Structure formats: structure tokens, C-alpha cells
Structure 1
Amino acid sequence: MTNTRPDDVHIVQEKVDFLPPDRVTDDRSILTLKSLVMEPLCAWTDGRVEAGLFDRWEVDETGCVWTFHLRPDPVFHDGHRCTARDVVDFVDAISASVDTFGMKWSYARYFAHARFVAASESTMRVTTARPMGDLPEIFTEFYLSRTDPEGNATIGTGPFRVDAFTRATSVRLSDAQGRRMRIDALPNAEARLAEVVAGRADIACQLDCLERLPRREGPLQWIHATHCLSVMAYLNCARGLFASDVARRAVNLAIDRQSLCRQVYHGLARPAATIVSPWHCGASQAGLHPIDYDPDTARAMLRTLDFREELVLRTPTYMPEHAVGIAHVIKDALQHVGLEVRIDVADDRPGYARAIGRKDMGDIAIFDSSPHSTFRVLNDKISSSSRGVWWQGFDDPALEGLITTANETIDPQRRAVAYGRCLSALQTNPPWLYLVHPETLAAARAGLGGLSVDHKGIMHFTKEAFS
């Protein structure tokens, strides 16, 4: 359908795509689109799980049988009534799919012993082999959709429907009140900012990707929030210097995170304290502060290890943004405490990810950790029991017991306390070099209201944005 009048809101962002129905993503551009057109099975807000397409759920006394109820009469934009059977088929497809790098999703492992059944048109029953308290949080990553006649997953049950879509280029949306939105893809951040400055667009998103971050001055309004993504560096816990917990603690003391935030991010970042952000489940219960910058103690700890070999620090050129600049900050900091470091830059980002998945990481490897689920970060990257694709040899038997307890705790408040114990233990015995949580940054024309960005980097719009 062709738009016949000017759009109420015109947005430029990094990407315009919906991805296949079985593809889960943490990409902010795509999540913004999905949140407009589709609904997540459950909603996530700063570590809390709330109603989404499922408006309520309950679990039996064993913690192994869950019943999820769809909200009343959900209907897809093509008129198809949304049923529990649609949800079961959707979850089954995700469990069998691969990610953008061609690697098997972790969901197949999470659900290896789970059974999904449509108990009625509006009710899905899930049976697990052991208590799985994080099941509703996992569902916050699943946005239910149907495919259109061209095979694009553009049909949802959310507030906006797709009127026109050209993959990787543009999409036009409208809602039941006739409000219209146009979103164009501009991969270059400088070009996105220029569109708003020139008045050709209302909003430019993902401006934290700018090579030189702006001072946020002038006539534009700036919308920003700290992202729950963790920019971090894997430490090779399987062999070499970082098989030692003393070395891992020492290099964390060697990093001046406040200086990193200023030097690389121009203040648009927050120092990290553990494996997840302050908005993950368990973080507020742990109450952690970032590790102190103490190069003198770091130097003394490293002297006890008498390590003289050169360390290989691997980095991609993006994902995370500013990765090469971060690598040079790390190199300078570690050389300041007596270590020799060589930077190895990888230009092939998908190849780099696959190499890290194969444990080919050198001694230190810059990466990012994007899941907003504490369960997922622990399961995929930390636990030596599950040994997920991103696990890099870390083994702490005491922590494994804490993880199991947290995983199997059903009550949300008690589970958050249990995860807080895990996060505290991981600050004491860090498997990673903890760095920062960057901010998501967008610019809008002056006077445009009703805009916000959440801690997942998703742009949100109230009715004021269309007035």
C-alpha cells in the first residue's frame, strides 16, 4: 500500500529488517521495529518480567509445569487469530534454528528436555525436566510473527502494521488511529545525524556509533540511556597467564574504567562491575560497585606469578563499537603494570565470532555480551557445567552450585537474590576483563515529544510524538 500523505514521524536508523521468524536478535534497530509491529511473549523491563502477548502464567508446585495464557483475542494484522498453536510452532522453530553467524542457538540446549503443548487455543503448557525459573525471561526475547506473501516476517499483533517494506532500505507503518511512521536505513552514523540536522528526518538513532561522539550541543534534543550490553574482554581461563585467578583479578585492577569512559566514549558509558549490567536480574540485590583502579596492587600481584611471555590481545573492528580504541587503552594499562601485549586486529567480524566460539581467542579477546538475561549470560558464557559456545575455560565449582540454585528458584524475588550471589562471586573471581556499559544515543528535532530509549536500546514513542 502506498502512503498518500506525509508521515507523522520520519526516523533514520542503522538497519531496516525484520529477519526470519525463527531468528532472535539483540540488534537495536531491528528490536525497535519488532517492538512496534510485534509483541514479545513476555515483556522485560530492567530485570523484571511482565505481561506481553502472554498476560499471565502460573507454575505448579514442582516448578516443572508452566501454563501460559494469551491475552484476550489477539489477532495478527492479516486477520489470522493468534493461538497457542502459533506460539508452539514459533518456539519449536527458534529451538531448531541458527544465529546470524551460522552457529546453533542456545535455545536448543535450554529446551532440550522441555515439551511445549497447545493445551487450548489460548493456553500453552510447558513441561521441563527440572525447575526452570527463568522460562518467562527467556520468552521476553521471542517476538511472535507471521510471514507476508513475499516471505518476510512483517505481520505481528503489535500496535503498528506494515504498509510497505523494502528490505534493508525502508518501511512504512501505521496504527489503528491512522498515525504513520517511516523508518529508513542509513548504515553510516554521520549520515544519520546529517539528516536530522538538515531537517530531512525527525529522529536519528544509534548515534553512539559515530566515529567522533558529539558534545550534544545545539538545537537538537538528545535521547540517551545506558545500555544493558556489556563491553568486556574474555580472558583465556583455559591456559596461559589467565588460568590464574590472581592474574585475572590483577588485570581488572589495572584498568581505569572512568578514564576509558572519558577517553573512548566521551562520557557516554558507565563502568562495569560484573558480568551483567545494573538492570539485569540480581544486579540490584548484589549492590556492586566497579572494581577499584589500583595499578600498584595489580603490579605487585603479577610479580608473584613471574610471567614474562607476550600476551595476544585480539579485537574486532566493530561489535563492540570503538573496539580498536578500547584495545589500545587495555594494552597501555597492562603494559603499565608490567605485561607485554600485542594487539591482533580481526577485520572479519563473523569469522572473529566463530573463532571465539572455537576457543581460538589468544589471551584476551574484546567482545560484547548482549543478552538482557542473567540466566543466559551465566549459561552461555560462564558455567563450566553447560560449557556453552562462548565459555572460555572458566571453572569455579562453588559458583556452579550458586548458578544451579538460582536457575531452579521459581519465586522471582528469591531468584534475584540467588543471582545476586552469583554476580558477587564473579566480581571476586572474574573470568573477564570488565569494562563498560555504553550508552545508546539518538538525536531528534527540537520540539518533538514522546520519545525515550530503554536499557536494551529500543526507541519508544508515545502519542505526543505524532502530534
Structure 2
Amino acid sequence: MKHAKKLLCLALALVMSLSLVACSSSSDGKADNSNAGAGIDHDREVVYGSASLITNFNVKYVTSQNDLQALDQVYDALVRKINGKFCGQLADSWEISEDGLTYTFHINPNAKFSDGTDITAEDVEFSYEFVRDQCDGWSWLYKTLDDVEAVDEKTAVFHFSAADASRLATMTSIQYGSVRSKAAMEKYGDDYGKTAESVVSSGPYVITEWKENEYVKFEARDDYYGKKPDLTHIKYVPISDVNAAVVALQTGELDLYFNPLSGVALDTVKAADNIAISEGLTCRNESIYMNCESDIFSDVRMRRAVAYAINKEEALEVCGSGQGQVVIYPCDLGEQVTGNPDFVPSHTYEYNVEKARALVEECGNMGRTVTIKSYNTEPYQTLSVWLQGTLSAIGLDAKVDTMERSAFSDQLLNGEVEICPFSWSDVSFDFGAAVGIYMDSNCIGNSGNYGRYNNPKADELIALGNGASDVEARKGYYRELMEIYMEDVPSVAMYAVINAIAHSNQLVMEDANRYEMARVHWAE
């Protein structure tokens, strides 16, 4: 089922000093800009869109990837991961102690906020301790962070109580790794991020205008310490209707749509002369989550029944229009994911309706009502209807209840969802950071462990895998972890999504999986 692959995984050295390197970028996509033509107006406003508009630039209140598509324009992190390599952003260089407990970052001496003040180690200290202490959804990521010490204005030292090889990967996320102005956040308090005036930028753009529910306008900063973006003026708009987005792309009203397209929508934009498509395989795994605390799915036999009932290839074609890669377990993407054990577990679930029905009957659940809950947007509307048919085929009376995003998120995190199609996305391509949270009991009620799975052995293996410095040792722990995953089935990972991002052929995307408009360029 699997073929041999070379072991080319990135290892984090225990003692290292990394200088800021020119992390060259090249487009992962397949965009064809051959018809871009001459005479592009480089000073024009570039309009990009997504399913919803951000309501708050305070990371504490970030609720979706759509929010990140705005945050990524105004905040920088200490480090980012580009083309599989860790690259300094605000940090010129960094060192990690031999025991993996101390991280020292040296901040770019020219880095300033948009208000003209220097970005200092105190801002770094404030930003990370803010996530640890005040961001309930993400505080678990820094549960082992003792403190951040501002040694001098441009040197920040992180002290941890436990080593974690996936830590640097975690810090690359703007959501929980960005650096924000301590002075501004203390000045505005809980009002920080609610208005354009309150947001102080550490990134390449600054907010110039924000009209609630309509748009946010950004302008490239002249005083930015890094390379100035190609696109000087950008505007972020909400377009929840995919069909409307396709029309806007065709007419040129929209230059880029961050929501991945599939099916008829993708076919339509591919046929347009003025639109290019950039693609990239992601660590976003579309999965079926079952609440391990619920009455029906607390029985592992029922979770296995669902696993046997899932035709992953069909799910990919029907719900994802073939835009993805079928996986056995989460982030089963070979050498692309650091620490991936890349193996076939001893227990797998080939599509078998008869086995699934037998397990449902054995549990005495034939004809039992099960409610599938999900977002009322794609791909989850289609996935929910498809899952309804799948569960009906094994003898369950499946109902579908789709709802607005925030209502669904509240019910999911509160344990009020029996079963749902959903995904967890990770940009780090590190197995510990991307997959551990599927099974970490610390994440129950937070993002990631949507199945509310609790197993002390799994927690132990996650800690051991994240704490090991040797990549082969990490793979060993994660291999054992995935054996447990396949045995206990807290979720069924179906396929990893290939992002297909449609944009004007006047633009070139460096990476279809990233949201920084600073990494989008003019085609000429």
C-alpha cells in the first residue's frame, strides 16, 4: 500500500546558532501567468477575499483561518518556515541550549513597529506570555513556558520546563507566535484590535481603513525593516458565496480568493483567461470526528464501525473534487512532514460496509438516531450529506444539522457534537505540532482534540516524541502513537487537502499555503 521513501526529514539540533538566511522562495503552485500581458499597474489596489471578514486583530479572539488572512499582513513572528526551512523573521539569529530548555533570540536591530517605536525583547516577552496566560484556546501550547527574559533591548531568552522538538515549528504561527506592541496592548486593553487606530503593526502592512463587515484596507509600510512588499495597496473583503467569488474573479473585481476551490468552481476559473491557479499540498486533514465521551461513540466498536464505513477515495472525489491525497492517519504525507513515522499501521480499515453493519448490530444500535453537525459552508455541507448516506448505509438513522460557524464551534468545543466532518490545519509540517493535538488530553475543549479523546499512554507518547531531539527517536514514539490512534479511532483521517487558490494572472503566489500578501508578487 505504501512505497519506500527516502528519509529526508529536518532534524532540530540541540545546540545551534542559526543566522538569518535568505530563504529563497519559489511557487509551489501550478499557476500559468502566460497571459498576464504587459502594462500591469503596480500602484493599483489589489483586492483579496475569503469567506468572512476579521472582527478583531487581537490574537485572543481569532476564530478561523479567515482571520489569519488578515493577521498575517500586520504581524511578524520571530521565525517562519519557508520551503521546509526555518528562517528568521524578526529574529536575526537564535540558539537552543543542549537540553532544549532555553531558546535565545536576537531581534533585528532595525525592526520597528508602525508607530515608530523599536520592537524590543519586552514586546516579545509580553506577546508570548499573553498567549500563555490569556488566550484560553492556545495557552496549552505554552504550558511549559516558565518565562521570557528580556536580557537587553534586542535579546529575548525563553525558559521552558520541558524540551519540545516541535516548539520552533509552533512559534512560526502568527496566531500564537506573532510579536505585538506591549505599549499598545496595555494602552487599549481589551479594546486593542477592534479599530484600525488601535492596531500597531510589526509586519509589512499597516491598516489604513476598516469598515465593519465590508472591508479592511492595508498599505505597505515604508519603514518596514524587511523587504518591502510588491503590492503597495491591498483590500480584504468577505465573499462567503463561492459562486459570487468566481464571478468576481472573472470580472476582475477580485484579484485573489484565499478559500480553496474545487469542483465546478475550480473548473470554471481554470477556463478563464485572466485567472491563474496556485496549488499546494497541505497538512489540513479532512476527518470525521466522533465524540469519545458521547453515549454512542464512547464504545470503540462504534468508532471502528464508522472507520470501516468510510470510503476515503469517494469522500475525496465527491466532497473534495479530487483535490487532495488520501491518508491512513493524520498528516500521512511521507517525508514532507518532519517526524512522520511513514508506515502502515498493524490495524487499518479498508472500506467494508458489511463489517461496519455487523459492529453496529453487535452494539445494539441498528436504527439508532445520530446527528451530524457541521458548518453551513463548504466543504462541510457536502461532507455532512455524504456522511449521512454513509451512516445510513450501516443501519444508523443519520440526521444533519448545519449551522453558522461560531455556533458550531461553541457546540464542538463544549462536547455537544456526536459526530462531525471537520479539519485541523497546521502550517509547520511537523508531526508533533500537527498530529499530537488530535490525541492530547490537554486539548479537550480546545482546538485539535475535537473527539475529546483521553488516554494517558497517548499523552505520554506525545510528550516523549516532542521531547526527543533525534528525529528517528521521534518517529519511533509517533509510530506507537499512531498504532493507538488506529486501534482507538478518535477520528477518521480521510484526506489531506490540496489548496487550489485562484488569483489574477497578473499575480504570482510564492506559496499557496501561506496567507502573507507580502509573498504575492506582480507577474512582471
Q: TM-score range by the shorter chain?
A: 0.7 to 0.9
Conserved 8 A contact 1:28-1:457: no
Superposition pairs for residues 162-241 of structure 1, below 5 Å? 162-168=207-213, 169-174=215-220, 176=222, 179-188=231-240, 189-206=242-259, 208=261, 214-215=267-268, 216-219=270-273, 220-241=275-296
The secondary structure found in structure 2 opposite 1:292 is coil
Q: Is the 8 A contact 2:124 2:180 kept in 1?
A: no
Distance, in Å, in 1 between the alignment partners of 2:243 and 2:390 is 31
The answer for the alignment partner of 2:13 in structure 1 is: none
Q: Is 2:148 aligned against 1:91?
A: no
Counterpart CA distance in 1 for 2:196 and 2:257 is: 29
The C-alpha deviation readout for 1:144-199, integer Å capped at 9, x for no partner, is: 23459956564334334444444541313235568523223032333332222113
- Quote the Cα distance in structure 1 between the aligned partners of 2:369 and 2:120: 54
For residues 40-70 of structure 1, what are the alpha-carbon distances to aligned partners after superposition, in whole Å with 9 as ceiling and x for unaligned?
A: 2221347764433234333333332222222
Greater shift in the superposed pair: 284-293 or 392-401 = 284-293
Alignment of 1:259 with 2:314, yes or no, is yes
Tell me by how many angstroms 1:431 deviates: 0.8
- Separation in structure 1 between the aligned mates of residue 488 and residue 82 of structure 2, nearest angstrom: 28
Could you tell me which amino acid in structure 1 is paired with residue 381 of structure 2? V
Structure-2 residue corresponding to 1:118: 150
Give, as a single letter, the amino acid of the residue that structure 2 aligns with 1:180.
Answer: T
One-letter amino acid of the structure 2 residue matched with residue 308 of structure 1: M
Which residue of 1 is the match for residue 420 of structure 2?
365
When residues 10 and 347 of structure 1 are mapped into structure 2, their CA distance, relative to the original with a 3 A threshold, is closer
Contact 2:445 2:452 in 1 (8 A): no
Mapped contact 2:262–2:321 kept (Cα < 8 A): no
**Unpaired stretches in structure 1, ≥5 consecutive residues:** 99-103
Deviations 1:365-410 (A, max 9, x none): 3333234465456565422466454454534454333212112224
Q: Which moved more, 1:83-92 or 1:269-278?
A: 269-278
CA contact (8 A) 1:40 1:144 kept: yes
Matched with 1:286 is: 342
Distance 1:48 1:422 in 2: 26
Deviation at residue 275 of structure 1 after TM alignment:
3.2
Which residue of the other structure, out of 446, 454, 460, is the alignment partner of 1:401?
A: 460
Does the alignment pair 1:426 with 2:512? no
Match of residue 450, structure 1, among 497, 500, 508: 508
Of the structure 1 ranges 78-87 and 220-229, higher mean CA displacement relative to structure 2 is found in 220-229
Cα distance between partner residues in 1 of 2:425 and 2:374: 16
What is the CA-CA distance between 1:39 and the residue it aligns to? 1.6
Percent identity for Structure 1 against Structure 2: 15
- Quick one: structure 1 residues 334 and 391, their matched pair in 2 at CA, closer, same or farther if it must change by over 3 Å? closer
Quickly say closer, same or farther: Cα 1:305–1:225, change in 2 above 3 A. Answer: same
**Would you say the 8 A contact 2:367–2:396 is kept in 1?**
yes
- Would the aligned equivalents of 2:374 and 2:384 in 1 still touch at CA under 8 Å? no
**CA shift digits 1:296-332 (9 cap, x unpaired):** 443455555454351413212336x232321221222
Q: Residues 402-461 of structure 1: CA distance to partner in whole angstroms, max 9, x if unpaired?
A: 212112224566445543543454234321132333343332334x24224433566663
1:155 aligned to 2:169?
no
Which letter maps to 2:238? Answer: L
Q: Deviations over 1:97-119 (max 9, x none)?
A: 34xxxxx2231573366212212
Structure 2, unaligned runs of 5 or more: 1-40, 189-194, 223-227
Q: Does 1:325 find its partner at 2:382?
A: yes
Whole-angstrom CA distance in 2 between matches of 1:293 and 1:339: 16
Corresponding letter in the other structure for 2:138: S
Paired position in structure 2 for 1:356: 412
- Select the residue among 97, 100, 106 that pairs with 1:63: 100
Alpha-carbon distance in 2 for matches of 1:25, 1:412: 32
Tell me, what secondary structure is at the counterpart of 1:353?
Answer: helix
Contact 1:19/1:152 (<8 A) preserved: no
Q: Aligned in 2, Cα 1:358/1:31: closer, same or farther, shift over 3 Å?
A: closer
**Separation (CA, whole Å) in 2 of partners of 1:152 and 1:341:** 52
Higher mean displacement: 32-41 or 452-461: 452-461
Aligned-partner Cα distance in 1 for 2:272–2:413: 44
Q: 5 Å matches for 1:13-28?
A: 13-17=50-54, 19-23=56-60, 25=62, 27-28=64-65
Match of 2:77 among 40, 43, 64: 40
Q: Deviations over 1:266-299 (max 9, x none)?
A: 2234334323463885564324699532334434
| Structure 2 Cα separation of the partners of residues 65 and 342 of structure 1 | 51
Distance 1:392 1:463 in 2: 40
Task: Please tell me whether residue 143 in structure 1 is matched to residue 200 in structure 2.
Answer: no
RMSD: 3.6
Partner of 2:89: 52
Is 2:392 aligned against 1:335?
A: yes
Q: Deviations over 1:234-274 (max 9, x none)?
A: 21223544334343233212111211222223223433432
| C-alpha distance in structure 1 between counterparts of 2:445 and 2:482, whole Å | 18
**Residues in 2 aligned to 1:231 and 1:400: alpha-carbon distance in whole angstroms:** 23
Secondary structure of 2:239's aligned partner: coil
CA contact (8 A) 2:286 2:493 kept: yes
Alpha-carbon spacing, 1:399–1:225, altered in 2? closer, same or farther (3 Å): same
CA contact (8 A) 2:501 2:512 kept: no
Q: State the 1:86 CA deviation.
A: 0.7
Q: 1:64–1:130: 8 Å Cα contact kept in structure 2?
A: yes
Letter of the aligned partner of 1:80 in structure 2?
T
| Cα distance in 2 for residues equivalent to 1:105 and 1:116 | 20
> Residue 200 of structure 2 aligns to which amino acid in structure 1?
I
Q: Which residue of 2 aligns with 1:101?
A: none
Structure 1 residue aligned with 2:28:
none
- State the secondary structure of the residue aligned to 2:217: strand
State how far apart, in whole Å, the 1-side matches of 2:328 and 2:514 are: 18
Match of 2:225 in 1: none
Q: Name the aligned partner's letter for residue 226 of structure 1.
A: L
